[in-house]
Structure 1
Amino acid sequence: MARRIPGISLSTLLVSGYLSLGLYVFLRGWPIIPPYPVLRVAYLALALVSVFGYPAARRWQERRPSVAADWAVLFSSLWIPSVLYLFLGVSLWDLLRLLPAFARWEESLLPRGAWALVLVGLVCLVLLKGIANARRLEIRRLDLLCESPPAPFPGPPRITIAVASDLHIAGPLWAGTLARVSRAIRATEPDLVLLPGDLVDAPAEALERMGVGALFRALRAPLGVFACLGNHEYYCGADGAAAFLEKNGISVLRDRCVEVGGFLRIAGREDRVKAVLGDGRPRLPLRRILEKSDPRLPLLLLDHRPSALGEAIDCGASLLVCGHTHEGQFWPINHIVSRLFPLAYGYERRGKTHIVVTRGAGTWGPPVRVGHCSEIVRITLRFPSGEAEG
């Protein structure tokens, strides 16, 4: 299970941390501003817009979707990684100033506020590199062996699976991301596409007006395209999001298991936020979801968060695919995220279960990744009956 801090929600921690970092950066910048009323008022206004601009722009985007609202969301979202790296830079500088020799060097050689300008320039370079990382889609390849099909196995000796999560499509400007992902998935020539949640980040009616449905319909594979819901689908309306995806050719599995091709079971789980933002009931236990399916067929499982690994292993899943973590999205957040989940990113085999957690093909909030790129996972899943042929 994911590690939790009793009595404190993760959302509360994130918001509190975000506001605290912004306050610290603002207070450290205040002494640098020349004591002219116009400049100080402008600095205060900039601080307020920076901190509260993103939630205000998201509200605008949800209520009145438009390209202008999308641009407002994109630009205001850049403050989220900016405040992190400004805080780290200011904190490092303050620690260095505790050294007497460094403090004397700063006073004698650097003009007033020069260090702050240098820091802002460095943060801008980090953001530019982060934007380039987010736009770059890596294809991570895995070759896995499924150990428990029936004998004789009625399916092919191997199948190719494309896995992409966390697209967070929120407006027309995100269409480029979806188009790139769609092209990259088609280039892997998959037999099956699995999308483990957080695909959309806007209400269904807004998505309809944006016209992004055609890009989802371009995701095709011989065995089908299957998805589960993530927490962000619940934020913007889970039923509407599921209906929108189904309408555009994606089979959404909500605590449901289906048989595919006569040789596979594919199950998708509801996100655990269903109990809070959905109908108030917890998601079904995995054994309940599987009770009417053929236990002899290999099971591929989609679960947005990589927190219920033990349940998947106990139920004999051959493959579990997850997303949600973004691998932190910004260094050094990845080190924090790695402490919150039993597997925050990558591949592990536990018993007969192959577990794949992808960092995602898109980004939440700012279109920025620091320390890594976006990714799609291409899995070749082999079955023992085909080993002699391969």
Structure 2
Amino acid sequence: MNPRFAVVITIFLSIFALINYYIGWHAQLFLSHVFHIQHFTIWWICYWLIAFSYIIGRLGSRYLPYSLSSVLKKIGSYWFAVMYFTFILLPFVDLAALVLWLFSVPLSLSVLILGSLLCLVVLLLMARGLWNARNPIVRTYEMSIPKDGGQLDKLRVAVASDIHLGSVVGNKKLQVLVDQINALNPDLILLPGDIIDDDIKPFIRHNMGAVMKQLRSRLGIYAVLGNHEYMGGHIQEFTEQMSAIGIDVLMDRSVKIADSFYVIGRKDKAAEHGGPSGREELDALLASVDKTLPLILMDHQPHRLDKAEAAGVDIMLSGHTHRGQMMPNHLITRRLFELDWGYLKKGNLHAVVSSGFGTWGPPVRIGSRSEVIELIIHFEG
């Protein structure tokens, strides 16, 4: 193992363990005062198994039975959300406990009140977050391109980024995606990265390709790679799976469609340091296209909108950010990206960043919604 990677992993696991101990200690305090439990050995064993279940399931996927690994990842995914909300709220609970102590409120009473209130708030956040993730909406953006679209004067495009198909997002939600997209009757379907969630095995094992194959569009279906496809490391197998169901994965490649416009697909930013096979510069990628025609670019991570605008791109489609997925993470993504969600007109460039259809980790969204994007593009050359 790379020494630097080993240090990063050690630091991450240490912080993760400390956060979970902080939560577990408060849970023990609540259980001892409210339910008068005295012995916690078995409880702590179960607690740590749940806390580390995703990590065990993910890192042990090569050695554990698939069903066990999948169950562990699902349990761990839900725990991530519970851990996240609890960790954010606990400092406020501790502050309130200090105030109650200063007013001589008995410890058992303050633990009962504050612990119950915390459990209720976390439960409500989980319920709302699950609803936001399981009930995707369609967002429509309408725009005009001052270029001739050949035989087309209007184009309807369905866009779905960050589907994250795997152990948590499966065929049931995938069928919702297929039905929503097909209901739009799109001319074109674009998938800007993170179609799978790291591991390709669930996609194959559960025959998710058969569900995706139901997608319908007049001018085809095109996709690009996201960082999670690179993290999984099965790029060739993934592109073969997509090709088998009629989805063309554009890896630093452009396609001229109906002699009317181009769709350009970039490799993910994760490929930039991949040597000779790494990511091509945008100017070089566009050198062979006719820039008098409309140019639609898919780039999974919404980096450097200024470069896309300067290169003559008309529409740039991205995902990746999930809009933070669970607030207040959106405050971080807002600082990292010029546009972390929604629509921005930058010069002649129309930039659209989706919050994504699926979820990474917990199937929970607070402050964001699962979504499908509908683009209605007018060509006015």
Q: Report the TM-score when normalising by structure 1.
A: 0.87
Distance, in Å, in 2 between the alignment partners of 1:178 and 1:90 is 36
Distance, in Å, in 1 between the alignment partners of 2:156 and 2:11 is 40
Distance, in Å, in 1 between the alignment partners of 2:37 and 2:18 is 25
Report the equivalent of 1:244.
Answer: 241
Distance, in Å, in 2 between the alignment partners of 1:279 and 1:64 is 34
Report the equivalent of 1:21.
Answer: 19
Report the equivalent of 2:4.
Answer: none
Equivalent residue for 1:379, pick from 366, 375, 380: 375
Spell out, residue by residue over 1:271-327, the C-alpha distance to the aligned partner (whole angstroms, 9 max, x if none): 121245x56754110111111121211100000001121221111111000000001
Equivalent residue for 2:339, pick from 343, 347, 368: 343
Q: CA shift at 1:239, angstroms?
A: 2.1
Spell out, residue by residue over 1:128-173, the C-alpha distance to the aligned partner (whole angstroms, 9 max, x if none): 22111101011101110112x24xx413111001110111101486
Distance 1:14 1:195, change over 3 A: farther
Distance 1:144 1:207, change over 3 A: same
Distance 1:108 1:120, change over 3 A: closer
Equivalent residue for 1:183, pick from 179, 183, 199: 179
Report the equivalent of 1:140.
Answer: 139
5 Å-filtered alignment, 1:61-210, equals 61=61, 66-67=66-67, 69-99=69-99, 103-104=102-103, 106-107=105-106, 110=109, 112-147=111-146, 149-150=147-148, 153-171=149-167, 174-210=170-206
Report the equivalent of 1:268.
Answer: 265
Q: CA shift at 1:107, angstroms?
A: 2.0
Tell me the number of residue pairs that the alignment of Structure 1 and Structure 2 aligns.
373
Report the equivalent of 1:224.
Answer: 220
Contact 2:321 2:341 in 1 (8 A): yes
Q: Which runs of 5+ in 1 are unaligned?
A: 1-8, 386-390
5 Å-filtered alignment, 1:52-63, equals 52-61=52-61
Distance, in Å, in 2 between the alignment partners of 1:366 and 1:70 is 14
Contact 2:163 2:357 in 1 (8 A): yes
Q: CA shift at 1:384, angstroms?
A: 0.9
4+ long deviations beyond 6 Å: 9-16, 35-38
Distance, in Å, in 2 between the alignment partners of 1:170 and 1:318 is 33
SS in structure 2 of the partner of residue 193 of structure 1: strand
Equivalent position amino acid for 1:193 in 2 = I
Q: Which runs of 5+ in 2 are unaligned?
A: 1-6
Distance, in Å, in 1 between the alignment partners of 2:39 and 2:169 is 34
Percent of aligned positions that are identical: 30
Distance 1:97 1:111, change over 3 A: closer
SS in structure 2 of the partner of residue 86 of structure 1: helix
Spell out, residue by residue over 1:169-211, the C-alpha distance to the aligned partner (whole angstroms, 9 max, x if none): 0148611111100100011111011110000125445522221
Equivalent position amino acid for 1:363 in 2 = T
Report the equivalent of 1:388.
Answer: none
Q: CA shift at 1:242, angstroms?
A: 1.8
Distance, in Å, in 2 between the alignment partners of 1:14 and 1:330 is 20
Higher mean displacement: 89-98 or 60-69: 60-69
Spell out, residue by residue over 1:48-95, the C-alpha distance to the aligned partner (whole angstroms, 9 max, x if none): 123211111234556667455433322221111111211122110122
SS in structure 2 of the partner of residue 220 of structure 1: coil
Answering whether residue 47 of structure 2 is matched by residue 50 of structure 1, we say no
Q: Report the TM-score when normalising by structure 2.
A: 0.89
C-alpha RMSD over aligned residues: 2.8
Distance, in Å, in 2 between the alignment partners of 1:220 and 1:296 is 29
Contact 1:260 1:266 in 2 (8 A): yes
Higher mean displacement: 340-349 or 51-60: 51-60
Distance 1:161 1:107, change over 3 A: same
Equivalent position amino acid for 1:83 in 2 = M
Distance, in Å, in 2 between the alignment partners of 1:356 and 1:310 is 14
